[in-house]
Structure 1
Amino acid sequence: MVLLNHVSKLRLILIRFIFILIFLGLSLRGEDSNSWPQRPVKVIVPFGAGGGSDTFARQLTRVIKEQDLLSQPMVVINVGGAGGTIGSRRVRYARPDGYTMLMLHEGILTAKHAGKASYGAEAFEAVAGTGETAIVVAVKDNSKYHSLKDLMLEAKLSPNTLNFAANLGAPSHFIGLILEKSLEGAMFNFVQYGGGAERYGAIMGEHVDMSIFSVEEYLRYKDGGLKALAVCSAERHLALPELSTVSEQGFELETSNMHFWWMPKGTSQAIQKIMADVISQAMKSEDMQNFMKASWIDPVVMQSEELRGELIERDHIISKVAIRKVDVLPNFELWIFGIVAVLGLFAFDKKCLETQGEKGRLWNPKSCKVFLLTFVYVFVLSTTAISYPLLTVFFLFALGFIIADQKKVPYLPLSLYSLVLSFGLFYLFTRVLVVDLPG
């Protein structure tokens, strides 16, 4: 009788949950491209406000609004952290209805090859590529190195002694790796620093020897004591005609930064085309052209096959560079947390054993099992790349198994309930509430 009651209750919950999912699925279907957009379009910039990417995105969206190129405004939202992966993950799990976009440079490629993310460009729809920015290698103005050749020879003769400021796993890191690969035996000691302002401060404070900057950043910091050794483009830059290229000094490195616009996988091709055309029109505007000229940004616009070819080429160059382990200070906070957690588990386990068989006590064996299961679930979820829905299925099933009388567990209903609830919650959080969860 108890078993039948369990089964009937689980069936009722399952049926209700299925109807909720069906309702959500019908209500959240992508709309027709003819009626898009009917509300503002969010543009996620996965970095803090005020940086190069943020400034570019806000300038372009302002032009689109002022010239009425889109019937709804585009709202820039800064979602920084983890080298851009928190913001990119949010867009990855957003509904593919055209109302959420991502503007992110090559960081979407480097994050995958550096192991910061399990996905890359293939997890998104590439809409457009806009603006190309040249890169320079720079040192402090009183540095003993007067050319890139001098610096590279030092990196070969004394490997790992030159400190290279870079955002580890980001494009600045990979450019350094490609550069050291151009001379056999050369090695830099990469030190974690974030944006251009941080890297400039590290050089001025003599915490590092070198780093890379966009041409606009370099010109901004030049009078503050920065000296460029080479430009990483194929030809000399108009803003720095006296500065030789990396290839002119005998090394292989031709690279630049470009802003790429992405939409969630599955977004309508028609919506992608509308957005790409809007971006292209805005890039041609006099206002945008003046902004890029003042910022020394090449007004490049790419879409469709040209864009896909560019991404394939950049990904190929990045993939050839192997990330090596970088020595960093131990994570003392994590060690302390681990020690406290282990000691806590020993103490808790002792309490469980002492109260075993005693009824009416809070810490009975069943409570201990639930606590330990929950602790393991949260720990595994936060420290590995295991999929949230898959892990949650096992967690819910094990939780139901512990709570129920193990001799009377309704296995099939419990399995279905765990499966539907975990994937249903994943859909609810990532598609409706747009909450970041492990894929």
Structure 2
Amino acid sequence: MNRFMAFMERKVMPVTQKVAAQRHLLAVRNGVLSTLPLTIVGSFFVIFLNLPIEGYNDWIAPFRDILDVPFRFTVGLMALYASFGVGASLAASYNLSQLNAGFLSVLAFLISTVVPIKIDQPVKGVIDAGRYISIGDLGAASLFGAIVTSLIAVEIYHFLIKRNISIKLPESVPPAVANSFTALIPTVVVALLFWGIRYGLGFDLNTIITTIISPLQSILVGNSLIGGLLTVFFIVFFWSFGIHGPAILDPLIRPMWDTAILANMDKFAFSGNAHQLPNLFTEQFLQWFVWIGGAGSTLALAILFMFSKAKFLKDLGRLSVIPGLFNINEPIIFGAPIVMNPILIIPFIITPIVTTIISYFATISGLVPLMMAKLPFTVLSPIAAVISTDWSIAAGLLVIINFIISLIIYSNFAD
């Protein structure tokens, strides 16, 4: 075990830290995370539109289309917002104008993804003749295309600015005006490039990227138990060695997580049935059923420490239990420590694997609905699980059962 830990510290940790700090991966993680307020607000509107109260649906029926608007312009346009966020984040690492980069990213995404629909004959009372775009092209299904086109657009911007291929105005010109002209040539290049690819070559970049990613996405965030267990294992495995697991996996899996929960939310908004949603292993599934107290389900360990005979562990338990209730567990991960601890690493990895399996079978059996909302991670797990599964009491009971299982497993390793 000591040799293995030494190997991890010497060989693996430096590599993972470099990966976590890579500018493009950071841009993807930060850009997608920047859309979090929108998805949370959109989630509340989904919940509000489907409250499990008798007669509620009939009562809001005349206003449903109006009440649905905030959801459509938050969750429904997620790829559009993410394209700006990813582009601005990558530009910041190059010390470029984040505003210009964000606009270029949105431009590249729209040209390569959205084909305007021409309607020659108006539909009376519904739509007039003209050209329109579908907001369906700007949602979760296009998230990966938005990420790739944004990265390419900003790299073009960086390439041209670095080589002074831009219009420079005198220093007396206001900075806002000068920056606009600086981005003029990059804008022309980005527009022509993506226009040529989409309409000249007929190459649908967004569809190609989505097709390539789909098999991996269906494994990791679809309904595959193996994929869910792999995600859980790698997160706690990296944490065991002091490496922020989600920081390593985020650039790859967060867009998949967000696509998955947004697809669930969109389907639920139409059907109102949380048992018939497309994706089981969303981030929220892990957050509420598995990460009880944080990665590794450490709330149980904090409570066990509160009754320890060792004063240090008792104090650590008291210090960690309140943050743990709100799913913040860095105090106990680094305080116990769990990091590099050959004894506590075992339950830290085993516990979430066991609760993932239990939660998976509880869901596919129909006892617990799937996740249809995205709440802040600091909400108490039983409450969040109930709300996120369309007010399912069974989901709250599952959290309590998983917590008891966590207590049993950790009690065999906590002194």
Question: TM class, shorter-chain normalised?
Answer: under 0.3
Higher RCO (Cα < 8 Å, 6 or more apart): 1
Q: In proportion to residue count, which structure has more strand?
A: 1
| TM-score, normalization by structure 1 | 0.23
Which structure has the highest helix share of the two?
2
The structure number with the bigger radius of gyration is 1
